[in-house]
Amino acid sequence: MEVKPTTNWFRPVVPVERPLMVRPRIAILARFAESTSATRYAAIVTARRLADAVWAAGGEPLTMIAAAGPAGTDWAERLRGIDGVLMPGGADVNPSAYGQSIASEHVYDVDDLADDADISLVRYALSAGIPVLAICRGLQITNVALGGTLIQHMDAPHQHHVAPVTLDSHADELGLTSATLEASCYHHQMIDTVAPGLEVIGRSAEGYVEAVKIDAPAWAFGVQWHPEDNYDTNRPQAELFERFVAEAARAR
């Protein structure tokens, strides 16, 4: 008897191809902490609001450890697949990095390994054409890395200090719809001698350096305040992160 083939009722589902939206990978150099409640012991940390701000802007925040030795500073290798570098806030820079001795009792938590890692990373990223956003200590260490100096302790520290800052120029390059921002500051050190290659584009009411454009092949800026503090309530802060992430995506 002839057997007729049955109708194959199963048809494989062919997936619909959609464009893959890959978040730009943003490297954030970790800061050292003596202890945290989650780890019980010494830890490497990234401020949660900073990572949240990068994520909200469309980036993928990745924490990288500061490590000693040639492997630790082989940034060409370590930054493979990285699209942007964010130099975050943190503890004080050791004055020896800019040719001075500690002259204030307020200088705290200096760590030469952290300084060396920061300086080597920012120099490499800028020279390699990787977009860079430097925040608070990140701005200070960039100034030091390029040959500038810091004031070790301000007469009137900007700690828990919120005030408007108006940029004199380059607001459009920062992606800002307004040149005036509500800057949330927490620092007791600041730029003294401005390094070659830094263009001051914004100052506080007292005249302190608050924002710079960094001479580099790629998009590179630094701010003294913490835009992550109020990125979700002050639109220009979010715009700053969004432009940084967009520049990182463009440079990929």
Kindly list the catalytic residues: 136, 226, 228
Taking CA atoms, 180 is separated from 53, 123, 160, 237, in Å, by: 19, 29, 19, 10
Contacts of 18 (CB under 8 A, 6+ apart): none
- Burial string for 142-162 (b: 16+ CB within 10 Å, else e) reads bbbbbebbbebebeeebeeee
DSSP letters along 150-175, please? EESS-SS-EEEEEEEEEESS-TTTTT
Amino acid at 106: H
Give 223's Cβ-side CA count (13 Å radius): 24
State the Cα–Cα distance between residues 140 and 249, nearest whole angstrom: 26
Contacts of 78 (CB under 8 A, 6+ apart): 64
- Give me the residue label for tokens 């990929």: 252
Contacts of 82 (CB under 8 A, 6+ apart): 25, 26, 27, 62, 130
Cβ proximity of 151 and 192 under 8 Å: yes
Cβ proximity of 95 and 153 under 8 Å: no
